[in-house]
A = this chain, B = another copy of it.
């Protein structure tokens, strides 16, 4: 069994692995976990000892199969709880992350199995992120950033790459939530902002915002 703290390190390493190509750096972990690099080094030794990561001094880390499976399971729990909070307890999508950060550490495989069943074996969480199944499998179709659509190209908002409450609330406000159909009109050369057609209405959003909205374009 892994401690609460170990689980958080594994989860962070997992998420960082998906953002970079090579190994995950000590300082990157320290940043995410809000701790000191020295503390990260200590924990890396411990996780390596437990065969959860591959660690070479000064060379960063990667997850072992065992470490990856553990991390994916935590992500599964996190996302199932987030969906439960939104669907059953009527939370908004910007309110659930912090609570799920705690709930994800509750250790009861049966509880998660029942929660999954109750929710109807869902494939995505309230932010569009895929929910791994009991075996850790999930599909992550290649999505395109809204900021990268070509003029006249259409798509559906299916995810976000930024989960802060302020960002999610803003999307809510401008009605660019999951499931919304969007057509690109043009990218403004001056500032990279985009003009869009959303349900027959023209809208402009900044490059920053558009780059965090993920589209399915088929």
Interface residues of A, Cβ cutoff 8 Å to B: 85, 88-91, 95, 98-99, 102-103, 106-108, 110-111, 114-115, 118
| Cross-chain contact of A103 among B95, B106, B110, B118 (Cβ < 8 A) | B106
| Complex contacts, A107 vs chain B, CB 8 Å | 102
CA distance A39 to B103 in the complex (A): 28
Do A102 and B91 contact each other (CB < 8 Å), given the known contacts A85-B111, A111-B85?
A: no
CB contacts (< 8 Å) of A108 on chain B: these are 98-99, 102
Bound complex: CA of A99 vs CA of B113, how far in Å? 13
A107 to B105 Cα, complex, angstroms:
13
Distance from A26 Cβ to chain B, minimum over Cβ atoms (Å):
28
Q: Which of B88, B106, B118 meets A102, CB within 8 Å?
A: B106
Minimum CB–CB distance for A195 against chain B, Å: 38
6 new A-B contacts at CB < 8 Å, known A85-B111, A99-B108, A102-B107: A89-B115, A91-B114, A95-B110, A98-B108, A99-B106, A103-B103
Min distance, Cβ A152 to any Cβ of chain B, angstroms: 44
Contacts of A102 in B (CB 8 A): 106-108
Contact B88 A111 (CB under 8 A): no
Contact of A88 among B90, B91, B103, B118 (CB under 8 A): B118
Complex formed: what's the CA distance from A115 to B88 in Å? 9
Q: Which residues of B contact A89 (CB under 8 A)?
A: 111, 114-115, 118
Complex CA–CA separation, A115 to B115 (angstroms): 15
Distance, CA A73 to CA B64, complexed state (A): 41
B85 touches A99 (CB 8 A): no
Q: How distant is the Cα of A88 from the Cα of B87 in the complex, in angstroms?
A: 13
Most buried by B among A89, A91, A98, A110: A89
Instruction: Report the separation of the CA atoms of residues A61 and B106 in the bound assembly, to the nearest whole angstrom.
Output: 31
